[in-house]
């Protein structure tokens, strides 16, 4: 079977055909599969000059895109979602090979499906003018106008879905977009944009793969009006500094080290699977994953036992093997971080409950599913974001101690409370310093529900109506 054309663009039968459409005719940088080391494909590396040219074209195209109006932009974005769904398997296969995540479970096919769903969600709301005062003397109305060009800088952990989180609301509100993907996973984003641009008007959406200098140029570019960034807190701070001279609008979704607080009334077996996926979705490589779990001593052993039982049933291996639901770390640098933090915990006297013994001769960046118990609350594995398949489970005397530890760090993206008493869980949730607190789940995002961080986990909201307003310029017309 080969690629076929439809009125909504080309449908690619598999990742090989999709790669053939996006790879440079010659040259380019090779991208390797983190599960096998095999070459996935080649990407044309953009330069600062390429970025400048793309921004100029996006700037020129923006007034026409804005002039189409909300109804036509909605139609086109829904057609773009159709194009993603028509190419879902090819996109998922490419994503699995480049990022490493398995096809099944909450992984590659899930991510591609989420990309289409979030694209449609950006069309689901009316962004109407809001009358703020009408008292017979003053009549003031708030409107939401396009900003201009949005520069989006994305991460390597959910490259397709987070790109959609950035581009979908921006386009809906009449902006044009220039994406700079992670150097680790550029093919996924280039392929996604290629599929979308089968439907969207020319010059509305651009992608420029490249290195650090391209990202730095996005942050300082005088023609970029807004930056959306998902990534580490340290990189976010650099972007904030670089953007200051042009006073860009910013949405910053930065690093997290999410805490989970278990209350003594839980049924350990009933929550174990949700606890596991809260921590180990995408093999732990998720900003809002559960990264430190606080459990009262009276139920500690039961929670540990239930988690071990679930974790032992989750197969890890190359993503294209349909049976696997956990994959490798995406890159060697991240593998080393996880291995170092786990070894530091073990050397400090923590107890290995499961895993923590990687095969040194294994192909790919596989780190075994690891549970660490009897660990000091101030261990590096607890207070530093591991971003991988290693969960520290900290024993506490009571819920008050758990809350104190949960709030002790300078990050606060998400948190969770686990209890059979919803009222009590809600009371505890209100005391946790995080942008989102889930009850009896962790990281279950929804395109209708606003999402953003507290403290040094960033600022600005994504998703829902709030997310649309965040990529628009409020304008008050008074009189």
User: Count of residues for the chain?
Assistant: 479
Is residue 23 part of the annotated active site? The answer reads no
Cross-strand bridge partners of residue 451 = 462
Active-site annotation holder among 98, 111, 183, 287? 287
273-299 core/surface letters (b: 16 or more CB in 10 A; e: else)? ebbbbbbbbbbbbbbbbbbbbbbbeeb
Distance CA(130)–CA(251), nearest Å, equals: 23
Within a 13 Å sphere around the CA of 436, how many CA atoms are in the beta-carbon half?
A: 28
Active-site annotation holder among 93, 183, 203, 253? 253
| β pairing state of 176-180 and 149-153 | parallel
Contacts of residue 17, defined as CB under 8 A and 6 or more positions apart, other chains included, come to 2, 3, 90
Distance CA(27)–CA(81), nearest Å, equals: 31
Distance CA(476)–CA(352), nearest Å, equals: 59
Contacts of residue 45, defined as CB under 8 A and 6 or more positions apart, other chains included, come to 28, 29, 209, 210, 211
Two tokens, residue 462: 């994504």
CB contact at 8 A, 474 and 146: no
Is residue 89 part of the annotated active site? The answer reads no
Distance CA(471)–CA(107), nearest Å, equals: 28
Taking every pair of Cα atoms in the chain, the longest distance, rounded to a whole number of angstroms, is: 78
Cross-strand bridge partners of residue 260 = 293, 416
Contacts of residue 6, defined as CB under 8 A and 6 or more positions apart, other chains included, come to 86
Q: Give catalytic residues, as residue numbers.
A: 253, 287
């Amino acid at each position: 079977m080969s690629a076929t054309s439809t009125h909504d663009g080309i449908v690619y039968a598999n990742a090989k055909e999709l790669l053939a459409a996006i790879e440079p005719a010659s040259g380019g940088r090779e991208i390797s599969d983190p599960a096998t080391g095999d070459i996935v494909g080649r990407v044309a590396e953009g330069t600062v000059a390429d970025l400048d040219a793309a921004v100029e074209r996006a700037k020129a195209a923006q007034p026409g895109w804005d002039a189409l109006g909300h109804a036509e932009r909605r139609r086109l974005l829904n057609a773009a979602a159709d194009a993603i769904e028509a190419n879902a398997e090819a996109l998922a296969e490419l994503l699995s090979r480049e990022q490493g995540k398995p096809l099944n479970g909450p992984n590659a096919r899930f991510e591609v499906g989420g990309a289409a769903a979030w694209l449609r969600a950006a069309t689901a709301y009316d962004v109407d003018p809001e009358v703020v005062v009408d008292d017979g003397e003053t009549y003031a109305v708030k409107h939401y106008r396009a900003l201009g060009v949005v520069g989006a800088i994305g991460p390597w952990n959910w490259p397709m879905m987070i790109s959609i989180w950035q581009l979908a609301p921006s386009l809906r509100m009449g902006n044009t977009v220039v994406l700079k993907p992670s150097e680790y996973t550029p093919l996924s984003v280039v392929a996604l944009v290629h599929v979308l641009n089968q439907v969207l008007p020319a010059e509305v959406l651009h992608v420029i793969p490249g290195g650090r200098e391209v990202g730095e140029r996005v942050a300082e570019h005088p023609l970029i009006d807004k930056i959306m960034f998902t990534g580490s807190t340290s990189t976010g701070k650099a972007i904030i500094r670089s953007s200051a001279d042009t006073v860009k609008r910013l949405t910053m979704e930065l690093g997290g080290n999410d805490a989970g607080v278990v209350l003594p009334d839980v049924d350990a077996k009933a929550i174990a699977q949700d606890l596991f996926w809260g921590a180990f979705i995408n093999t732990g490589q998720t900003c809002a994953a559960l990264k430190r779990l606080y459990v009262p001593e009276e139920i500690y052993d039961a929670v540990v036992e239930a988690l071990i039982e679930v974790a032992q049933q989750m197969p890890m291996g190359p993503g294209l093997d349909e049976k696997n639901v956990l994959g490798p770390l995406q890159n060697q640098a991240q593998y080393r971080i996880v291995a170092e933090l786990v070894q530091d915990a073990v050397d400090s006297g923590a107890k290995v409950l499961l895993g923590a013994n990687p095969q040194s001769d294994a192909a790919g960046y596989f780190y075994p599913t690891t549970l660490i118990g009897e660990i000091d609350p101030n261990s590096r594995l607890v207070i530093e974001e591991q971003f991988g398949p290693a969960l520290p489970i900290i024993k506490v005397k009571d819920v008050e101690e758990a809350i104190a530890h949960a709030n002790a760090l300078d990050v606060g993206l998400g948190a969770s409370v686990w209890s059979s008493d919803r009222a009590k869980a809600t009371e505890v949730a209100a005391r946790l310093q995080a942008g989102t607190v889930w009850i009896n789940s962790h990281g279950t995002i929804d395109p209708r529900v606003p999402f953003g961080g507290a403290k040094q986990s960033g600022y600005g909201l994504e998703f829902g109506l709030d997310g649309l307003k965040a990529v628009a310029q409020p304008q008050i017309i008074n009189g």
